[in-house]
């Protein structure tokens, strides 16, 4: 049994009212909400053992270090990563991607090729464009279909001996499409190319087994997984991470420093310069524990029911068009209604206490593909309810009637 009413009690924000209406939070693809159990972990850190890690012999530092490294081990176990030092704490998905882009800058040369997909978030486009401008490498794009899937036959044609890196999101943030990542990885490896998967949108819904996938790099953010903002993860195979130069210089990432020469620390500290978001890292582990206690299979099954229910409701609204109808999707519906601007609908829904995202969702090339300014995106999580979807449908119909 999936007791959503019981689960909702863990999320204090869900009892809030907006403009006298109960909050209906359907912007989970941007940021998930945080359960009290994770909030308590953050409060506990600052209340009882706030101290810097790895550097102090005193009790508070030792307790903070132990909690932080236990969180790293929790992340390792969750994603089935071979070694804890292959988990690099970062500020989030964006920094994780930029870390890898920076690391490859010295080794790429003119004529090398990188491949991304047409449905990437800007954070998985712009760093590679900057890298190409710096190195002379060429960026190639896997096109997408009207249905919101990748043209895999063209991907095969793009691959060659010149391909060095392939970057694809596991799940599209704008469309909810689950990409065929195993096929993407296997075909890239056939040409000796390395693969980075942007797992920010997949991680809340899919428990990725990184050893089974044999992916080279995987990145995600805690705030998509019921954790805090400002902390995330970069996974990389240790043999590859050891080949990359440090991303930043400073404390913690050194073995020794003289004015003549600096030597760098071993993984993971080589890429963790400075004082990290200690409370955030600890809470990241707590958030994964919380979601695993519920069970990712149960979460995925319930969210699939929410998606089917909402899709059925919305498709009955006249002139409503859904963008992204891939056979495999997470609980995301991007849509427009007639010629009404998505911002206008989103603003009226907000007055009713219904939070959706409007715009291009940091995926402007997708909007350009469909020749639209943006979409209304409703994204569901395991703490949402069928009753909230009913309220959403009623509110949407009211908004459309007001704007037509």
DSSP of 131-197:
HHHHH--EEEEE-B-TTS-B-HHHHHHH--TTEEEEEEESB-TTT-BB--HHHHHHHHHTTT-EEEE
User: Nearest CA to 377 among 340, 336, 341?
Assistant: 336
Mark whether 176 and 77 lie in a shared domain.
yes
Last residue of a domain, one of 275, 292, 309: 292
Mark whether 254 and 116 lie in a shared domain.
yes
Active-site residue among 362, 372, 391, 403? Answer: 362
The model's pLDDT over 33-50, given as tens digits with 9 standing for 90+, comes to: 999 999 999 999 999 999
Contact present, 244 and 224 (Cβ < 8 Å):
no
Domain count, the chain: 2
Mean pLDDT of the chain: 97
Give CA–CA dist 229/167, Å, rounded.
23
Mark whether 145 and 259 lie in a shared domain.
yes
What pLDDT shows up at residue 265? 85
**Which residue matches tokens 């760093």?**
127
Mark whether 216 and 324 lie in a shared domain.
no
What pLDDT shows up at residue 227? 98
Mark whether 121 and 168 lie in a shared domain.
yes
Give CA–CA dist 52/276, Å, rounded.
9
CA distances from residue 114 to 125, 140, 347 in whole angstroms, order as listed: 11, 6, 39
Q: Which residues contact 294 (CB under 8 A, 6 or more apart)?
A: 7, 382
Catalytic status, residue 362: yes
What pLDDT shows up at residue 336? 98
Q: What is the CATH number of the domain that holds 24?
A: 3.90.1150.10
pTM: 0.96
Mark whether 300 and 238 lie in a shared domain.
no
Mark whether 206 and 103 lie in a shared domain.
yes
Mark whether 305 and 157 lie in a shared domain.
no
Bond into 72 cis (ω within 30) = no
Residue 92, both tokens: 């989030």
- As beta bridge partners, residue 256 has 263
Last residue of a domain, one of 277, 292, 307: 292
DSSP of 94-122:
HHHHHHHHHHHTTT--TT-EEEEETT--G
**Helices 93-104/126-135 angle, 10° precision:** 10
**Which residue matches tokens 């020794």?**
256
Mark whether 89 and 196 lie in a shared domain.
yes
Mark whether 253 and 106 lie in a shared domain.
yes
What pLDDT shows up at residue 261? 87
What pLDDT shows up at residue 260? 87
What pLDDT shows up at residue 255? 82
Q: What is the CATH number of the domain that holds 71?
A: 3.40.640.10
Mark whether 384 and 259 lie in a shared domain.
no
Question: Could you list the pLDDT tens digit for every one of the 404 residues in the chain?
Answer: 799 999 999 999 999 999 999 999 999 999 999 999 999 999 999 999 999 999 889 999 999 999 999 999 999 999 999 999 999 999 999 999 999 999 999 999 999 999 999 999 999 999 999 999 999 999 999 999 999 999 999 999 999 999 999 999 999 999 999 999 999 999 999 999 999 999 999 999 999 999 999 999 999 999 999 999 999 999 999 999 999 999 988 888 888 888 888 888 889 999 999 999 999 999 999 999 999 999 999 999 999 999 999 999 999 999 999 999 999 999 999 999 999 999 999 999 999 999 999 999 999 999 999 999 999 999 999 999 999 999 999 999 999 999 98
Q: What domain range is 324 assigned to?
A: 4-30+295-403
Q: Which residues contact 141 (CB under 8 A, 6 or more apart)?
A: 115, 116, 117, 118
Give CA–CA dist 106/63, Å, rounded.
39
Q: Give the single-character DSSP code of 14.
A: G
What pLDDT shows up at residue 55? 80
**Which residue matches tokens 């707590």?**
286
């Amino acid at each position: 049994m999936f007791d959503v009413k019981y689960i909702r009690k863990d999320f204090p924000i869900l009892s809030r009212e907006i403009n006298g209406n109960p909050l209906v939070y359907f912007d989970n693809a941007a940021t998930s909400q945080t359960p009290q159990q994770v909030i308590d972990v953050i409060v506990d850190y600052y209340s009882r053992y706030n101290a810097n890690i790895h550097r102090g012999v005193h009790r508070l530092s030792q307790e903070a270090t132990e909690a932080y490294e236990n969180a790293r081990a929790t992340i390792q176990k969750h994603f089935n990563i071979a070694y804890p030092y292959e988990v690099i704490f970062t500020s989030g998905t964006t920094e994780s991607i930029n870390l890898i882009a920076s690391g490859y800058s010295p080794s790429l040369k003119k004529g090398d090729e990188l491949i991304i997909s047409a449905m990437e978030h800007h954070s998985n486009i712009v760093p590679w464009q900057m890298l190409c401008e710096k190195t002379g490498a060429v960026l190639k794009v896997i096109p997408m279909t009207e249905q919101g899937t990748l043209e895999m036959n063209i991907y095969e044609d793009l691959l060659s001996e010149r391909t060095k890196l392939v970057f694809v999101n596991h799940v599209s943030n704008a469309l909810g499409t689950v990409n065929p990542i195993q096929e993407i990885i296997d075909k890239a490896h056939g040409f000796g190319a390395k693969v980075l998967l942007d797992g920010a949108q997949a991680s809340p819904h899919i428990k990725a087994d990184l050893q089974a996938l044999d992916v080279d790099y995987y990145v995600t953010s805690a705030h998509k997984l019921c954790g805090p903002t400002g902390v995330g993860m970069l996974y990389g195979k240790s043999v590859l991470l050891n080949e990359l130069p440090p991303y930043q210089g400073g404390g913690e990432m050194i073995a020794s420093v003289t004015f003549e020469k600096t030597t760098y620390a071993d993984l993971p500290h080589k890429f963790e310069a400075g004082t990290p978001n200690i409370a955030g890292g600890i809470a990241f582990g707590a958030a994964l524990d919380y979601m695993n206690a519920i069970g990712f299979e149960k979460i995925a099954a319930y969210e699939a029911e929410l998606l089917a229910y909402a899709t059925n409701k919305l498709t009955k609204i006249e002139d409503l068009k859904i963008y992204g109808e891939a056979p495999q999707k997470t609980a995301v519906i991007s849509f427009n209604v007639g010629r009404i601007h998505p911002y206008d609908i989103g603003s009226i829904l907000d007055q009713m206490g219904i939070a959706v995202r409007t715009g291009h969702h940091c995926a402007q090339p997708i909007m350009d593909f469909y020749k639209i300014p943006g979409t209304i995106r409703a994204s569901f999580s395991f703490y949402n309810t069928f009753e909230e979807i009913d309220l959403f449908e009623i509110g949407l119909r009211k908004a459309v009637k007001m704007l037509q």
